[in-house]
């Protein structure tokens, strides 16, 4: 009964959500596209010819926006779930935290990349601190992977949850990058603890 009520509440919330409606109009696969669009509007990240890695990409709305703005650039999308193809992007299905998947990503890039972005998050437990810590670990994993593959002025973008590991992640970012900012887009739901860390200029 409780599960049905939660499910019904979610459906009602989706119906009222302007970003869900807008995503259907604009042809994006999920409302999360608008978070990346807001990040781009603020930090001016995407332009033609970029090479981009999208971690935790499914269902693909970040990849859609990135490919649209990168035009002749290169995009590699990774997720546990299988995704519908997006343009001429390279898609890798598997667990990003496994070494063999990280090696496969590296095989598909030539030279350094311009953007590494991650919207990875664990399935939430509802216990805010545990969710924050587990998603924080994914962010750190992506950051460690990205730092050796990035051009000097490249951007690293990742979802983080406010909570136990927030300060630790920001400190980690400052260890690897000269510029570190935290940003919560308007399209991120008010009751969500998520923000995004935007790092630039590898040390």
Catalytic residues: 159
The set of residues, in sequence order, having a beta carbon less than 8 Å from that of 129 and lying 6+ positions away, is 163, 164
Q: Decide: helix, strand or coil at residue 105.
A: helix
Distance CA 27, CA 25 (A): 6
Say if residue 131 is preceded by a cis peptide, omega within 30 of 0: no
193: number of Cβ within 10 Å: 18
CA 68 from chain centre, in angstroms, equals 16
Task: State whether residue 167 is helix, strand or coil.
Answer: helix
């Amino acid at each position: 009964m409780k599960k049905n009520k939660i499910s019904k509440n979610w459906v009602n919330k989706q119906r009222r959500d302007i970003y869900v409606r807008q995503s259907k109009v604009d042809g994006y696969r999920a409302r999360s596209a608008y978070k990346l669009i807001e990040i781009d509007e603020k930090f001016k990240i995407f332009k033609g010819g970029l090479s981009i890695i999208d971690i935790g990409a499914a269902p693909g709305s970040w990849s859609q926006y990135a490919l649209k703005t990168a035009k002749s650039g290169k995009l590699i999308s990774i997720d546990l779930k299988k995704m519908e193809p997006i343009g001429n992007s390279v898609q890798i299905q598997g667990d990003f935290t496994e070494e063999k998947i990280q090696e496969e990503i590296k095989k598909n890039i030539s030279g350094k990349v311009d953007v590494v972005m991650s919207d990875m998050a664990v399935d939430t437990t509802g216990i805010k601190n545990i969710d924050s810590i587990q998603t924080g670990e994914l962010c750190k994993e992506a950051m460690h992977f990205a730092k050796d593959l990035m051009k000097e002025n490249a951007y690293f973008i990742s979802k983080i949850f406010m909570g136990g590991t927030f300060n630790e992640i920001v400190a980690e970012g400052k260890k690897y990058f000269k510029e570190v900012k935290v940003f919560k887009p308007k399209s991120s739901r008010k009751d969500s603890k998520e923000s995004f860390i935007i790092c630039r200029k590898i040390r």
